[in-house]
Amino acid sequence: MYDTFATDRLIDLWLTEDIGAFDLTAQTMIEASEEASFHMNAREPMTVSGIAVAARVFQRYDPSLRIKVLVADGQRVEKGAILLEVSGSARSMLTAERTALNIVQRLSGIATETARYVDAIADTKARLLDTRKTTPGLRALEKHAAACGGALNHRLGLDNGVMIKDNHIAVCGSIQAAVARARKVLPVLTKLEVECDRLEQVRQALETEVDVIMLDNMSLADMKAAVDLVAGRVKLEASGGVRLETIRAIAETGVDYISTSKITQSAPAVDIGLDDAQ
Domain boundaries, the chain: 4-114+267-276, 119-265
CA distance 128 to 17: 34
The helix or strand, by DSSP H or E, that contains position 9, with its residue range, turns out to be helix 4-19
Q: At 115, which helix (H) or strand (E)?
A: helix 90-120
Q: Is 159 a catalytic residue?
A: no
Kindly name the residue from 73, 113, 142, 216 that is annotated as catalytic.
216
Is the pLDDT score of 190 beyond 80?
A: yes
Q: Which CATH superfamily does the domain covering 4-114+267-276 fall into?
A: Quinolinate phosphoribosyl transferase, N-terminal domain (3.90.1170.20)
Please compute the mean of the pLDDT values over residues 35-50 and round it to a whole number. Answer: 98
What angle (nearest 5°) sits at the alpha carbon of residue 257, between those of residues 53 and 197? 120
Task: Name the active-site residue from 35, 43, 62, 98.
Answer: 98
Annotation marks residue 216 as catalytic? yes
Q: Percentage of the chain surpassing pLDDT 70? A: 99
**Per-residue pLDDT, 277:** 83
Could you tell me where the beta strands, DSSP code E, fall in the chain?
35-42, 46-47, 66-69, 76-77, 82-89, 127-129, 162-164, 192-196, 212-216, 235-239, 257-259, 272-276
Catalytic (active site) residue 262: no
| Neighbouring residues of 97: CB distance < 8 A, sequence distance ≥ 6 | 38, 274
Confidence of residue 1 (pLDDT cuts 50, 70, 90): low
pTM of the full structure: 0.95
Nearest to residue 245, comparing CAs of 230, 257, 262?
Answer: 262
Per-residue pLDDT for 183 more than 80?
Answer: yes
119-265 homologous superfamily: Aldolase class I (3.20.20.70)
Catalytic residue among 76, 139, 165, 203: 165
Instruction: Give residue 2's pLDDT.
Output: 76
Model confidence band, residue 237 (pLDDT cutoffs 50, 70, 90): very high
Using alpha carbons only, how large is the chain's radius of gyration in Å? 23
How confident is the model over 200-229, as pLDDT tens digits? 999 999 999 999 999 999 999 999 999 999
